[in-house]
Amino acid sequence: MFPINLLDLIDPKKCYALVRQLRWGGIVTCPKCGSNHVVKRGFDEVQSDRQRYQCKHCHARFDDLSGTIFALTSSAFGSMDYSFVTS
C-alpha cells in the first residue's frame, strides 16, 4: 500500500475555502464573544491561505481554524495528512 499525501490531492486554497464555507457559512463570528462585527486581518505566515480575523467588539484575534481541533497544531492540515499516512 502506498502512502498517500493528501496535500498532493487537495489544493490548500480550495481546502481553506471549503473550511470557511462550512464553518462560517458566509458570516464570520468571533469564537470568544459571538459578535459578527469582524474584520479580516491578513493571512497566516506559514499557511498563506489561512485567513485571520479580528473582532471589532472584543478585539480578539482568530483565524479559520481557531477553536477547532485543527488549531491545536501549527500545521493543521499537515497533521491530518501525517495521521493518515502513518495509520
Instruction: Return residues touching Zn ion (CB under 5 A).
Output: 30, 32-33, 35, 55, 57-58, 60
Pick between residue 10 and residue 58 the one whose CB is nearest to Zn ion. 58
CB of 2 to Zn ion, least distance (A): 45
Pick between residue 4 and residue 33 the one whose CB is nearest to Zn ion. 33
Q: What whole-number distance in Å separates Cα of residue 65 and Cα of residue 1?
A: 31
Pick between residue 46 and residue 58 the one whose CB is nearest to Zn ion. 58
Q: What whole-number distance in Å separates Cα of residue 77 and Cα of residue 42?
A: 19
DSSP state of 87: -
Residue 15's Cα: distance from chain center in Å? 9
Give the three cell numbers for residue 31: 469564537
Give the three cell numbers for residue 78: 499537515
CB of 70 to Zn ion, least distance (A): 20
